[in-house]
Every structure is written in C-alpha cells, then in structure tokens.
Amino acid sequence: MALSAPASVKTFLCFTLWALLISPAVSLTCSGQKFTKNQVFSTCLDLPSLSSFFHFSYDSSNTTLSVAFIAAPSKPGGWVAWAINPKATGMAGSQALVAYKNSTTGLAVVRTFDISSYSSIVAKDLSFEVWDKTAESRSDGSLAIFAKIKIPADLASNGEINQVWQIGPGVGADGTLVKHEFAVANLQSKGTLDLKNGHTSSSSGVDTRTKNKNIHGILNAVSWGILFPVGAIIARYIRAFESADPAWFYLHVFCQISAYAIGVAGWGTGLKLGNQSSGITYSSHRNIGITLFVLATVQVFALFLRPNKEHKYRFYWNIYHHSFGYAIVVLGIVNVFKGFNILRPDYKWKSAYTNTIISLGAISLLLEAVTWVVVLKRRSEISKKPHDGKQ
C-alpha cells in the first residue's frame, strides 16, 4: 500500500505541469518600441503569437492604414511577413509584405507576395494600393516592415480586416522564401484587426482550436500516458504484498476506470479535432487512438466477465487481460509522443513527460526486484512448512 504514494505524487505533479501549459506566455510589450525615423502610430498591439508587434494608425476619412510590423525571423537570415487576407482568415489568399536582410548588400528589403495557396507563393504586386514600403533591421535582431495601405472600400466599411503574420528561417539566393515551421504558434498567428478601436480579436492569447488541442493533449497524456501505466504498476507490484490484498485490486480498478473516463473524454476531443481539420490527417496517431479506445473498452467490460479465481477459464482470462493491458500501456505512451510531435508544445512539456515515464520505468524496475525478493522469500517459507502450503 505504501507504494502507491510515489505514484499519486507523480500524477499530481503531472496534472500541475500540464495545467501550466495552457497559461498564456508572458511577452515583451510594444509600448516602449521606438523607430529610427521617428514614425509615430496611434495604436500598438502585442500580437498573440510569434513574439510579434503591430503598430498602426488608421485614417477613416480616406481609408489609409499606416503600419509597422516588428518580429524576429525564426533564424538569422530568415524573413518576417505581415499580410492582409481580403477574403479569408488564414494564409491562403493573403496579400503579404515580406522583409528580409539581403545577404549581399546587408540591407533590409520589403517585397510583396500574393499567396494564392499554400503551394503558390509568388512575388507580385498586391491587390490593393501600397506605398512607402520600407524595412529596417533593428539592433535586437528583429526586422520592422513599414507601409501605407489604401484599404479597399468593402473592407473599410466592415471596420475590420483579417491579418496574418509569420516568421521564416531563410531566403534563397533567388529571393524564394524558405518554408516556415508548422508549430502551433505558426498556425495561430492570425486574427481580425479592428480598425477603429484598435484591437485584434485573438489578443486574448490562444484561439479556441488551440485551446481544444491543449485540452486534448492534457486529457490524453494524463489518462493514457500516465494513469494507465500507474494502474498497471499497482496491479503488478502492489499485490505482491499480502497485506495489500484486496486493496490493490480496488486501487487498480479505481485508477483504470478514472483513466478510462478521462481517456474517453480526451479521445472524443481528438475525434472532433480530426473532423475539423480537413486536409491534414495524422493517420497513425488517429489509428493508434482508435485501437486504444477499443482495447480499453474491452478491458472495462471484461471486468464484469471475470471468472473467479478457481474457475478453469481464469487462466485464459488472465493471459488476455495482461496482454491487452500491456498493449494499452505501450500504445498509450507511443501515442502521447506522436501527439507531442503534432501539437509541438514548448520542449519542456515533452521533457517533463519523458522524465515522468523514465521515473515510472525506474520505479517499476525497483518494484520488480522487490517483488522477486518477496516472492522468493514467501516460497522458501512455504517449503519449510509444507502442511500449511495453501496460498
């Protein structure tokens, strides 16, 4: 029984660590930023992702938007981009201003790109009038894009525009942009810009889809990734102690039923995310998820079909129950790591989870040794008193 303490402490720690994942990151603010040419803007925004900043003034009498966008490329020699998407909310269809440092001249330059689709990024004039385009490379390694934009009448009458921003790792010698990463921060770098009141809709931090992905990650990492293995450890090792019978059994059932309940919730969020993401399918993550759900459901129902200890089928039931159980533990951990590679949270979350699994593995090894000692000792005691050999 005493052995359940480290496991519950672990579980608690992991809950805490994962809860921190959804707390928004602290960022520097735009309000102190100055420009070398003394440009002044009426409003500035700390954009919610990619540590980017946006300064602007809007003159509604002639629908002129004057902007400055500041961000650091993801690698030195990379690019930064700010775009208006006149028709949709994402990257496809956006009209982009891109800045990078020309490696030959060392000067920051601005170019315009028409991003008609993800595969077609063409250097081209924009669909609306843009002038006074300049770029500046700043002392902290970031780049600033300046421009004045004539907002088309239909967008101006809405009072808001869809903005998209991005950072990339490099620029080819011919001026082609090296693809940006597809981490969560690169996918949530968009929002609507309220021209009159000067705020961006996603300024609260994380959009709903990202929040759903984080919830999906937390529920599944806690259930399939931590509680199921802990429940298996309880079943395998704690019952070796005679004094822990039948408490280990209830603890095991409690642990696995709660893991199953949380896991099913997490599984449901996964299906929903899968349905929402047309075009991108993470098929192995999805198939392992479905397999896990089936195996775990069979395990839960098999609890009710469990033959009693003396029954001749109990032997076969044990084989099935253990093999399904180990399969769930292994597939669960594998799928949590697959999930990390898809969601790509900060590296510390992956390493926190890895450390948890390593600790659970170390605890299991230790308990395995202790169990052998206990079992061998018990056997030798039994052989000393053969008339009392009933287990």
Which one of the spans 27-35, 101-109, 224-232, 306-314 is the region binding ligand NAG (CB under 6 A)? 101-109
- Name residues whose C-beta falls within 8 Å of residue 5's C-beta, 6 or more positions apart in sequence: none
Task: Answer whether 164's CB lies under 8 Å from 157's CB.
Answer: no
Query: Of 23, 36, 38, 62, which one interacts with ligand NAG (CB under 6 A)?
Result: 62
Residue 102 interacting with ligand NAG (CB under 6 A): yes
Peptide bond into 73 cis (omega under 30): no
State how far the Cα of 55 lies from the Cα of 66, in Å rounded to an integer: 8
Q: Does 135 engage in binding with ligand NAG (CB under 6 A)?
A: no
Secondary structure in 3-state letters for 164-199: EEEEECCECCCCCECCCCCCHHHHCCEEEEECCCCC
Nearer to ligand NAG, 166 or 220 (CB): 166
Binding residues with ligand NAG: total (CB under 6 A): 9
Q: Considering only 23-31, 97-105, 204-212, 229-237, which stretch makes contact with ligand NAG by CB under 6 A?
A: 97-105
Could you give the CA distance from residue 162 to residue 262 in angstroms, rounded to a whole number?
A: 37
314: left (phi over 0), alpha (psi -120 to 50) or beta: alpha
Q: Which stretch binds ligand NAG (CB under 6 A): 8-16, 59-67, 70-78, 347-355?
A: 59-67
Residue nearer to ligand NAG on the CB measure, 195 or 226 = 195
To the nearest whole angstrom, how small is the minimum distance from the Cβ of residue 127 to ligand NAG? 16
For position 137 contacting ligand NAG by CB under 6 A, the verdict is no
> According to DSSP H, which parts of 32-127 are helical?
none
Find the part of the chain contacting ligand NAG (CB under 6 A) among 56-64, 120-128, 160-168, 334-342.
Answer: 56-64
Identify which of residues 135 and 219 has a Cβ nearer to ligand NAG in the complex.
135
Among 16, 59, 284, 389, binds ligand NAG (CB under 6 A): 59
Q: Which two tokens stand for residue 325?
A: 């159980």
Give the span between the Cα atoms of 130 and 132, in whole angstroms.
7
> Is residue 171 close enough to count as binding ligand NAG by CB under 6 A?
yes
Q: Which is nearer to ligand NAG, 135 or 234 (CB)?
A: 135
Report yes or no: 239 and 245 within 8 Å, Cβ to Cβ. Answer: yes
Nearest distance from residue 173's CB to ligand NAG, in Å? Answer: 6
- Residue 281, CA distances (Å) to 55, 211, 273, 293 in order: 37, 19, 10, 18
Q: Of 159 and 205, which CB lies nearer to ligand NAG in the complex structure?
A: 159
Element spanning 348, H or E? helix 347-384
- Which among 4-12, 47-55, 98-106, 333-341 is the span making contact with ligand NAG, rule CB under 6 A? 98-106
Run of H or E residues at 65: strand 64-71
Residue 96 Cβ, how far from ligand NAG at the closest point, in Å?
16
Q: Which is nearer to ligand NAG, 22 or 178 (CB)?
A: 178
Binding of residue 77 to ligand NAG (CB under 6 A): no
With H, G, I as helix, E, B as strand and everything else as coil, classify residue 345. Answer: coil
Least distance to ligand NAG, CB of residue 172, Å: 7
Site for ligand NAG in 175-204 (CB under 6 A): 175
Give the angle subtended at the CA of 225 by the CAs of 222 and 228, to the nearest 5°.
90
Give the shortest CB-78-to-ligand NAG separation in angstroms. 12
Chain length of the chain: 391
> What secondary structure does DSSP assign to 16-63, as a single string?
HHHHHHTSPPP---GGG---TT----SEEEE-SSTT-EEEEEEETTTT
Contact region for ligand NAG (CB under 6 A) — 22-30, 57-65, 250-258, 301-309?
Answer: 57-65
Binder among 23, 36, 38, 105 for ligand NAG (CB under 6 A) = 105
Q: Using the rule CB under 6 A, is 76 a contact of ligand NAG? A: no
Q: In what order do the strands lie in the sheet with 94-101?
A: 120-123, 108-117, 94-101, 79-85, 160-168, 190-194
Note whether 329 and 368 are within 8 A (CB). no
Can you tell me which residue has the tokens 């696995």? 256
Residues 150-169 that bind ligand NAG (CB under 6 A): 150
Least separation, in Å, of the C-beta of 30 and ligand NAG? 22
Interface ranges with ligand NAG (CB under 6 A): 59, 62, 64, 102, 104-105, 150, 171, 175
